[in-house]
Amino acid sequence: MKNIHILPTEQPSRFSLHTTGLYNLACELHENSPNFSNHHIYITSDEQGIKGDYVIHTPTHKLIKVMERVRTADFKKVVLTTDPKLIADGIQAIDDEFLEWFVKNPTCEFVEVVKEGYKKNSMIDEATSYKYKIIIPEEEPDKELNLIKEESKQLPLKEAAERLASTTDEFNMFIAGANYQAERMYAEADNIMRFLDTEVELKLSDTKTIERIKWYFKTYFEQFKKK
């Protein structure tokens, strides 16, 4: 069940969506711009919203401040957010560790949240305050990539490129990049890696494909060095 909600905002934000379709996390709040549209993240729970809480009305994706208790499943209580207005009103801020992870995993729609109570007064039996802890999902191993690694360790460069690339452009990029590195005698290896990182940043090619190409560069050039 979805509990990560991303809503656009006209207000300054650190979290934004680039025109390429990639999310971006800035160090400071910034205004909307032609290339970046600001958004806020809201993480919800199944707790019942009471007066003063903020909720997301899931059918309309609207943020609402509760004036009375809400009892329907269509309203999800906001427990963590990047929205400065809500944070100033007492909603817990999402920490940078999760935000940095989410930027790299933008398709994630659900994250486990643990509600941790603590006592302000040790004489009180019931916890009076709570903090929410996000359990960042462990990255599942890329089974397809691992299989390719095992099967392709000894493949010639061209055959590896043919197996890896899903389009002619990706194949040509792989071969051109490999030839470029070979000609530069490995001293410029970081340049091609930066080139590939730019491909990912600008979404000029599929991220998973780029990561595979980077792995092949490292693997094959290590083999070349040994020859």
What span, in angstroms and rounded, lies between the C-alpha atoms of 38 and 36? Answer: 6
pLDDT at 43: 97
Distance of CA 44 to CAs 101, 111, 146, 164, 181, Å? 18, 10, 35, 39, 48
Q: Which tokens go with 172? A: 């040509």
Q: Which tokens go with 130? A: 């709570």
Q: 13 pairs with which residues across the strands?
A: 30
Q: Which tokens go with 37? A: 């549209």
Q: Which tokens go with 150? A: 């095992």
pLDDT in tens, the chain (227 residues): 799 999 999 999 999 998 888 899 988 889 999 889 999 999 999 888 899 999 999 999 999 999 988 878 899 999 999 999 999 999 999 999 999 999 989 889 999 999 887 655 555 555 557 789 999 987 654 555 555 555 544 456 666 666 655 566 666 666 666 665 555 544 445 555 555 555 555 454 456 566 666 665 666 555 555 44
What span, in angstroms and rounded, lies between the C-alpha atoms of 63 and 5? Answer: 10
Domain boundaries, the chain: 4-135, 143-226
Q: 132 pairs with which residues across the strands?
A: 115
